[in-house]
Amino acid sequence: DGGITQSPKYLFRKEGQNVTLSCEQNLNHDAMYWYRQDPGQGLRLIYYSQIVNDFQKGDIAEGYSVSREKKESFPLTVTSAQKNPTAFYLCASSIGSGGPEGTQYFGPGTRLTVL
Amino acid sequence: AQSVTQPDIHITVSEGASLELRCNYSYGATPYLFWYVQSPGQGLQLLLKYFSGDTLVQGIKGFEAEFKRSQSSFNLRKPSVHWSDAAEYFCAVGASNTDKLIFGTGTRLQVFP
């Protein structure tokens, strides 16, 4: 089955530690996205990548980093510089960027809790 | 500035009743419009999308939405709600000249038996 996988579903980390969230897709999509979701705030874009080896900051990139070394993978690292990292993180992908090809499909999410 | 507004934070309906969730957008270019649904602790699932053509679009799970350019709206409707429709619903807008979607803050739907 084609789709987007995120692992793990739940993640616990101590304050001050970096943590990496995994996102893999086998849809052959060029574009991938990371969102953060907090109650009552909808989705906020962290980073996105339109093509391998290239990515752009979204609206709330501070304290986060990404890489896009392979088309199917777009891992997100939450660094110790992120002031309030506890949240639900969603990964998405689309065929391309903009227009109908920009239709985004989402993974199941990772809930990160920093203790 | 581009924006999407979902005026209703929380809606409660009885099972079998009709449903309309509101979405208004502000966008300079011709918009592409989407509705997504999210069950608790899950990712977002695409319900339907509008790019052009017929302004009434059909989606999955019996949902439909109507694009009204004059009102800058893209409201989601369902004639008869099922208990399994209880979830959070997000409206989103994009365009041909942008590589990002803008999401509304969501409407939480509660269904009473």
A48 touches chain B (CB under 8 A): yes
A41 touches chain B (CB under 8 A): yes
What does the alpha-carbon distance between residue A63 and residue A46 come to, in Å, rounded to a whole number? 10
**Stretch B80-99: mean pLDDT:** 90
What does the alpha-carbon distance between residue A85 and residue A11 come to, in Å, rounded to a whole number? 11
Per-residue pLDDT 10s for chain A (115 aa) are 669 999 999 999 999 899 999 999 999 999 999 999 998 778 999 999 999 999 999 999 999 999 999 999 999 999 998 889 999 999 999 998 878 888 999 999 999 999 8
Q: Across the interface, which of B32, B95, B105 has its CB nearest the CB of A41?
A: B105
Distances in Å between the Cα of B20 and the Cα atoms of B14, B17, B79 are 13, 10, 9
Binary contact (B100, A58; C-beta < 8 A): yes
Distances in Å between the Cα of A14 and the Cα atoms of A17, A65, A80, A115 are 6, 18, 10, 5
CA torsion B72-B99-A108-A44 (nearest 10°) is -70
Contact of A30 with A71, CB cutoff 8 Å: yes
Q: What is the largest CA-CA distance in chain B?
A: 44
Residue with tokens 């986060």: A64
User: How far is Cα of residue B99 from the mean position of the Cα atoms in its chain?
Assistant: 20
Contacts of A113 in chain B (CB under 8 A): none
